[in-house]
């Protein structure tokens, strides 16, 4: 009989195997890695620090939050805010479908699969502590690993707006964790400026 721990580990490994097929690469410590595989690992590592007692469903949701994202590119949707919002909402459903199929293959019941899907579509954000925890982790991963890259592509006004929007999505606990992140001096100053405006 498979224990819950081994089922969780096997399912996370299956998410990783799926994401390892990402043709897009990102450098990590000088080594190219599949982009969404790396994102999933960063999500899990950040969750383990932020919520070491995270439930099994939350651990699964964190790892599969971007599963096979390259199969539904932003370019498939219209330009502008409406196109972006449609892409994001369809993407969450897509991630839930892919993750749900993998979870079912590994013996998870419908209730656990539905719970993970609810987290991925951010149902009851701000009211459901686990959905909020997932959102906090998403924001912490963005600030830790992706803000610097954004800073190369956008002017300061746009970056301040992005940081302020990110901050509004987070809980007080998320804010406390974000203020302890080891950001580079320029990024730390940018965050400080965004929060003072």
DSSP 8-state code for residue 69: G
176 and 113 co-located in one domain: no
Q: Do residues 106 and 14 make contact, with C-beta atoms less than 8 angstroms apart?
A: yes
Question: What pLDDT band is residue 10 in, cutting at 50, 70 and 90?
Answer: very high
Residue 126 lies inside a defined structural domain of this protein: no
Beta strand spans in the chain (E): 25-28, 31-34
pLDDT at residue 147 is higher than 60: yes
Question: What pLDDT band is residue 3 in, cutting at 50, 70 and 90?
Answer: low
Burial class (CB in 10 A: 0-12, 13-18, 19+), 39: buried
pTM of the full structure = 0.94
Report how far residue 161's alpha carbon sits from residue 145's, in angstroms, rounded to the nearest whole number: 18
Burial class (CB in 10 A: 0-12, 13-18, 19+), 148: middle
Residue 129 lies inside a defined structural domain of this protein: no
Res 1: pLDDT: 42
Q: Could you give the number of structural domains in the chain?
A: 2
Residue written as token pair 């469903």: 57
146 and 101 co-located in one domain: no
Residue 131 lies inside a defined structural domain of this protein: no
Residue 146 lies inside a defined structural domain of this protein: yes
Q: What percentage of the chain exceeds 90 in pLDDT?
A: 92
Give tens-digit pLDDT for 67-114: 999 999 999 999 998 999 999 999 999 999 999 999 999 999 999 999
172 and 93 co-located in one domain: no
Q: Domain span at residue 108? A: 1-121
Report how far residue 58's alpha carbon sits from residue 185's, in angstroms, rounded to the nearest whole number: 32
Residue 127 lies inside a defined structural domain of this protein: no
Mean pLDDT of 155-181: 95
31 and 74 co-located in one domain: yes
Residue 128 lies inside a defined structural domain of this protein: no
């Amino acid at each position: 009989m498979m224990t819950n721990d081994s089922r969780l580990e096997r399912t996370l490994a299956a998410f990783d195997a799926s994401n390892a097929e990402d043709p897009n690469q990102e450098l990590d410590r000088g080594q190219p890695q599949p982009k969404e595989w790396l994102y999933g690992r960063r999500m899990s590592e950040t969750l383990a620090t932020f919520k070491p007692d995270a439930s099994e469903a939350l651990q699964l949701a964190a790892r599969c939050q971007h599963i096979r994202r390259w199969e539904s590119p932003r370019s498939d949707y219209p330009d502008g805010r409406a196109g972006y919002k449609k892409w994001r909402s369809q993407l969450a459903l897509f991630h839930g479908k892919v993750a749900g199929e993998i979870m079912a293959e590994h013996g998870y019941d419908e209730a656990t699969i539905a719970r993970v899907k609810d987290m991925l579509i951010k149902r009851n954000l701000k009211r459901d502590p686990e959905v909020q925890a997932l959102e906090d982790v998403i924001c912490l991963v963005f600030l830790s690993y992706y803000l610097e890259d954004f800073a190369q592509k956008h002017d300061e006004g746009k970056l301040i707006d992005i940081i302020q929007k990110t901050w509004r999505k987070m809980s007080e606990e998320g804010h406390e964790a974000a203020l302890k992140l080891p950001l580079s001096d320029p990024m730390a100053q940018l965050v400080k400026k965004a929060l003072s405006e």
